[in-house]
Amino acid sequence: MLAGLAWWRAALALVLVLDIAAGCIANFTPSTNDFYAARPRNRWIFIAIHFHVVIVALLVGTGLGAAVAVWAYTIAAAAVVNLLAGRAAQTFVGGLLLAVGLTGLPMLPGLTPAMAAVSALFMLKVLFSFAVDHYRTVVSSGG
């Protein structure tokens, strides 16, 4: 994926991919989870600023349309999941939307295997690892 690119493009793409991968893990930690659970506005901002997958596609010069589709789906799905904060269904809905998104990746035209892997990590990071409050106190729906 990085072969033949200017060194700065390859380096920047690699840094963004590593940030996506590291975020998959870091966003599952109780400290990150609790920080954003206590600051709902910050969670919305964090979701909104994530467009790494589009920048990676621009830097490597492949799959831009697919990356925009992945980004749009991921942000919309993360918003839905975030709206369910404090509810028992949040984890289930997050997992369901992640599964739907991952299943759709092979159907996107122009998505190389490398960009499919980056896209999958991006979805995991933003949609499930981050948007789901994994250590929440569940709000009862009554009854």
Structure confidence by residue, pLDDT tens digits, 40-78 = 899 999 999 999 999 999 999 989 999 999 999 999 999
Question: What rounded mean pLDDT belongs to the chain?
Answer: 91
Q: List the domain boundaries for the chain.
A: 7-130
Q: In this predicted structure, what is the pLDDT of residue 73?
A: 98
89-120: pLDDT as tens digits: 999 999 999 999 999 999 999 899 999 999 99
The confidence band for 86, taking pLDDT boundaries of 50, 70 and 90, is confident
Q: HEC states along the chain?
A: CCCCCCHHHHHHHHHHHHHHHHHHHHCCCHHHHHHHHCCHHHHHHHHHCCCHHHHHHHHHCCCHHHHHHHHHHHHHHHHHHHHCCCECHHHHHHHHHHHHHHHHHHHCCCCCHHHHHHHHHHHHHHHHHHCCCCCCCCECCCC
> What average pLDDT score do residues 4-21 get?
93
Q: Tell me, what's the pLDDT at 71?
A: 97
**What is residue 137's predicted lDDT score, i.e. its pLDDT?**
57
